[in-house]
Amino acid sequence: MQSTDQTPALSPSQWLKIYYFVRALVSIAWIAAAIAVGKSGAPIEAILIIGYPAWDALANYLDAQKSGGLWSNPTQALNLAISTITGIAVAIALGFCMNAVIIVFGVWAILSGVLQLATAVRRWKLAGAQWLMIVSGVQSALAGAFFFKMALGMELVSVVTIAPYAAFGAFYFLVSAIWLTVKDAGQRSIKATG
């Protein structure tokens, strides 16, 4: 007897809700771990710092695959490549000092912010509720410039330096997921009564 998968494919809006909720939850877990590790310089700090762009690369890959593939999503394909390179660059920078790591994060935040902005503008037509992702892209680019200022200044930097950046990302992903959930519920309600 053959069995076939009868699970209907997710709509772009359904996929984005799940994706945004997962991104928010992973960011919140990362922030909690970063704060717990603090400025200890423990090996877990290195894992967290390398893991952040590595997770972003994986998330961009999964999202692109669910949204038509990497060829259909060039901004996400580029973001995947940049995040992968960033993970490698962070690993190398850890051999120098945390200020070098924060500079790498600054470059990454600027580039990924611009790409997130471009992806959100493209997606606006498909799923709506992208205004927060647009704001997030702009904020990411600005945060990148701030990372440069911090790294080149006299401030002591650590994994905790990145936590507010991750917190803004978690906030934007969570609000976008909730926004899409409410929007979809409203549309279902209209269809049910109409």
Cβ within 8 Å of residue 66, ≥6 positions away: 10, 15, 19
- pLDDT tens-digit series, residues 141-167: 999 999 989 999 888 888 999 999 999
Please say if the pLDDT value at position 33 is more than 70: yes
- pLDDT tens-digit series, residues 60-118: 999 999 888 999 888 889 989 999 999 999 999 999 999 999 999 999 999 989 988 88
The pLDDT value recorded for residue 109 is 95
Residues 100 and 117: beta-carbon distance below 8 Å: no
Residues 82 and 115: beta-carbon distance below 8 Å: yes
**In the structure encoding, which two tokens stand for residue 8, read together?**
């209907």
pTM of the model: 0.82
pLDDT level of residue 127 (50, 70, 90 thresholds): low
Return the higher-pLDDT residue of 169 and 123: 169
End-to-end CA distance of the chain: 41
Residues 20 and 132: beta-carbon distance below 8 Å: no
138-172: b (≥16 Cβ within 10 Å) or e: ebbbebbeebbebbeeeeebbbebbbebbebbbbb
User: Tokens 């549309």 — which residue?
Assistant: 187
Residues 91 and 138: beta-carbon distance below 8 Å: no
| DSSP track, 164-184 | HHHHHHHHHHHHHHHHHHHHH
**Average model confidence (pLDDT) for the chain?**
87
